[in-house]
Structure 1
Amino acid sequence: MSEPAIDYRAVLQALPGMVALLTPELVYVDANADYMRNSGRTREDLVGRYLFDVFPNNPNDPAATGAGNLEASLRRVIATGERDTMALQRYDVESLQRPGRWEQRYWSPINAPVLDAEGRVVLLVHRVEEVTELIRARGRAAGDRARVLEAELYTRSRELQEVNERLRQAHAREREVALALQDAMLPVPHLADHHQTAVRYQPAVGALNVCGDWYDLVELPGERLAVAVGDVVGHGLAAAGVMGQLRSALSAASRVSAGPAQALEALGLYARSVNGAESTTAVSVHIDWPALSLTYSSAGHPPPALLREGGAVAFLDRATDPPLGARPEHGSRPQVRQEFAGGDTLVLYTDGLIERRGEDIDVGLGRLARSLATHRALAPERLADALLHDLLPVAGATDDTALVVIRL
């Protein structure tokens, strides 16, 4: 027996409380009966119109902040893909029966995203509780005390908004410093002319979600190259500091080790002495051009991709071990040798490129393989840009991404 079809528009209309659906451009798609009744607007007044054309700030109140605060909340939801609960808002509404007369109203809004399969925000759920009558009832019941409480609530909400703004500015400053540190630690490599290589670092949209990822390329004797990417657990300046220490340590270990497994073993021992380095993931690949071979080892990191000239994609996933510091006792790590042909392409990346909330990693790997096959004829610089365009959410990723593309 098939499941009965669900009339989601009827569900929206039956929801208790005021609920409206908005596009990412803040245009009304629909609203339930409670929303229309309590706002004094019909469906025709709302659907297809820009939110702040329908409900602008009170022009008679120069200090009015309702529209600005609401827009800031909705923009945060679009940028982060996360729900945002607002403080109590005074947001006056113009009377349709008496144009030019603005009614003092108080609201408690919650804004939430609706995401598609790629993690992009495609709709916004705008849920509102009107508390105007509650505040007025308290005023009638308690007289001056309630009016003082009303003013205090409004003042507290303004203070909370100011605190949130200061935190946002502090986070923005931390982001700027962290990204500057990231740029200093991840210079564009100066490789020999025969190495067609592209590197990218794409920061996350959130102020605190940057600087955990790194890449490194080390020229070795005999036309060989050690290339690695890694991902520190954590964000912000602390993660940037840990990232810098681990990147430098792996770079040094790659120069003196017999192969990538030995380099990661040395890095694992070093990571035990670095606060915040626990559970860092990393993968290292040594490229030997005269032998047409790759030797690789992974510490819990997503597998590198080997794009064949004809479009087939193989993931280098046969030498995977736990992340750094994840085992109670130190042990040797595996490594595997893989042959390649001239014209093949090696791609290393961090999980921000492929992983999405609530989705199996194999789905993201499949997206990567399809994108690589589609753009296989592109040179590394253009291929790197195409991968970021295809795989990162339009609204911006919530995790940073490091990417290395090398034409073999």
Structure 2
Amino acid sequence: MDPEIDYTAVFRALPGGVLLLTPELIIADASRAYLRLSGRSRDELTGRYLFDVFPDNPADPTASGRRNLEASLRRVMATGMRDTMALQRYDVEIPGRPGIFEERYWSPVNAPVLGPDGKVRMIVHRVEEVTAFIRDRGLGSGDDRHRMMEAELYARGRELQEVNERLRQAYARERQVALALQEAMLPTPRSIGRRRPAVRYRPAVGALNVCGDWYDLIDLPGERIAVAVGDVVGHGLSAAGVMGQLRSALSAAMRVADGPAQALDVLSLYARSVDGAESTVVAQSVVDWHTGMIAYSCSGHPPPALLHPDGTVQFLDQAVNPPLGAPPDHCPNCQATARFTEGATLVMYTDGLVERRDEDIDTGLARLAATLTGHRGADAETLADALLADLIPDGHVDDTALVVIEL
């Protein structure tokens, strides 16, 4: 059972200075923070006309606080839209000293409370006082226009901080949902062919640049398996959705295609019909234990790495094709093969493992080769963990998919 909410108590506990006004500009309630700012009790405010409580300073013929605030409140009632006012000088009568006004500066926002019929039933009037800022900066005297400009910048800076925090929270929520979707669509690790591969997905740290990277493993007839890794352009929920479509399409194509190149041909044609799929990069391999051969094809993707038992590393880079859907006219992909012996290890990965913005890709590939050689003889799980630990720096801004298979 949902708890009953005392909205009056919630309103009064709001951390900012807030008044609740009727359409006739009668004060219906005030937050405790507003009472502190104004120096008045709730009984001195509620039930009274706003401008009877807070009139303009009669000793200041240039006072415009009431006029500007009333105009904003009338706009809210007429349009049903929130109205953010420019910073205002609005002097306030000192409590207990009738006729004595104190110079005060405010940053007001007025927002409607709509009824079921869409009409404005109440107005929320929120203020942030910036008088202390002006005094701390020594702006209490001199050119009034300069003083107001300085205070306006301060108030807008505070608003930007609030906007940035809301955006950060929105990004965090999208990141969480996107990662959950990504995890749900990637296959669960299981034994395939003669081995149980090690698979990893490492999201970027502290960034929305997650999702879009994937891996897939498929059992094929005749002691063969298909292994794929890919990377969709973009990030977040949209990239995760595109990734799911492409992974499923390639999985189906590999089951009927005559090798990796033909499967990528089909996927490239399909990508042209999926928004956000063009320029995706993919590497596809087929491991055949019976013949000791690996057939492979890469569409704009970094090459798979084959670690031989003696510690040498061979990059499978003899079948390089454009990214999916990139050429104006479709052209068939090429395919190549590589031989392996028992004890070798196939490593397939996305570019987050090797690419860095400040260096050439060859530097990253050389670093990968050195790490593989340094960990030769390790089982797939140990090697996968070592690759992530050695090659992905803290705070990395790109996600990474990784598949390690002992051959």
TM-score norm. by structure 1 comes to: 0.65
Aligned to 2:264: 264
Larger C-alpha radius of gyration, 1 or 2?
2
Aligned counterparts, 1:215-294, within 5 A? 215-294=215-294
AA matched with 1:200: R
- Map Cα deviations across residues 39-58 of structure 1 (whole Å, 9 max, x no partner): xxxxxxxxxxxxxxxxxxxx
2:375 aligns with 375
Residue pair 2:190, 2:197 contacting (<8 A) in 1 also: no
Aligned-partner Cα distance in 2 for 1:139–1:335: 77
Deviations along 1:211-241, whole A, 9 cap, x unmatched?
A: 0100000110111100000011111111111
* Distance (whole Å) between structure 1 residues aligned to residue 356 and residue 193 of structure 2: 36
Give distance in 1, aligned partners of 2:249 and 2:196.
Answer: 25
| Aligned-partner residue type, residue 372 of structure 2 | L
Amino acid at match of 1:255: R
Distance 1:227 1:337 in 2: 14
Q: 2:393 matched to which residue of 1? A: 393
- The residue that corresponds to 1:296 in the other structure is 296
3-state SS in 2 of match to 1:298: strand
C-alpha displacement of 1:136? 4.8
Q: Give 1:150's aligned residue.
A: 150
Q: For 1:178-214, what per-residue CA distance to the aligned partner results, in whole angstroms no more than 9, with x for missing partners?
A: 0000000113232247313100000012432000100
Q: Does 1:406 align with 2:397?
A: no
Give the residue type in structure 1 aligned to 2:224: R
- Any idea what SS the aligned residue of 1:371 has? helix
Indicate the structure whose relative CO is greater, using CA pairs within 8 Å and at least 6 residues apart: 1
For the residues of structure 1 that align with 2:193 and 2:217, how far apart are their CA atoms? Answer: 14
Equivalent runs, 1:342-361 vs 2, <5 Å? 342-361=342-361
> C-alpha distance in 1, partners of 2:369/2:196?
20
Counterparts of 1:1-400 in structure 2 under 5 Å?
Answer: 136=137, 140-143=141-144, 145-192=145-192, 194-394=194-394, 396-400=395-399
Contact 2:308 2:345 in 1 (8 A): yes
Quickly say closer, same or farther: Cα 1:256–1:234, change in 2 above 3 A.
same
Amino acid of the structure 2 residue aligned with 1:406: I
Q: Letter of the aligned partner of 1:227 in structure 2?
A: V
**One-letter code aligned to 1:309:** P
How far apart, in 1, do the equivalents of 2:255 and 2:325 lie? 22
1:109-163 CA distances to partner (integer Å, 9 max, x unpaired)?
A: xxxxxxxxxxxxxxxxxxxxxxx99x958664314x4443333222211111111
Q: Please tell me the residue identity of whatever aligns with 2:288.
A: D
The 1:196/1:310 distance shift into structure 2, 3 A limit, reads farther
- How far off is 1:253 after superposition? 0.3
**CA pair 303-193 structure 1, distance change in 2 beyond 3 A:** closer
Distance in 2, matches of 1:204 and 1:285, equals 26
Question: For the Cα contact (< 8 Å) 2:193–2:223, is it kept in 1?
Answer: no
Structure 2 length as normaliser, TM-score?
Answer: 0.65
CA contact (8 A) 1:174 1:207 kept: no
CA apart distance, 1:305? 0.2
Contact (CA 8 Å) 1:191, 1:219: kept in 2 or not? no
Could you tell me which amino acid in structure 2 is paired with residue 287 of structure 1?
Answer: V
Verify the 8 A CA contact 2:307 2:372 in the aligned structure 1. yes
Identity over aligned pairs, percent:
66
Q: Secondary structure at the match of 2:286?
A: strand
Letter in 1 for 2:322: P
Conserved in 1, the CA contact under 8 Å of 2:230 and 2:283? yes
Q: Whole-Å Cα distance in 1 between the matches of residues 194 and 272 of structure 2?
A: 38
State the distance in 2 between where 1:386 and 1:350 align: 16
Deviation track 1:261-309 (CA, whole Å, cap 9, x = no partner) reads: 0000000000000011111000100000111110000101000000001
* Secondary structure at 2:290 match in 1: coil
- Structure 2 CA distance for aligned equivalents of residues 193 and 338 of structure 1: 18
Q: Deviations over 1:83-125 (max 9, x none)?
A: xxxxxxxxxxxxxxxxxxxxxxxxxxxxxxxxxxxxxxxxxxx
CA contact (8 A) 1:271 1:325 kept: yes
> 1:211 & 1:138 partners in 2: Cα distance?
50
Q: Distance in 1 between matches of 2:192 and 2:324?
A: 31
Unaligned residue ranges in structure 2 (runs of 5+) = 1-132
AA aligned opposite 2:197: T
Contact 1:213 1:230 in 2 (8 A): yes
> What CA deviation, in whole Å up to 9, does each residue of 1:45-74 have, x standing for no partner?
xxxxxxxxxxxxxxxxxxxxxxxxxxxxxx
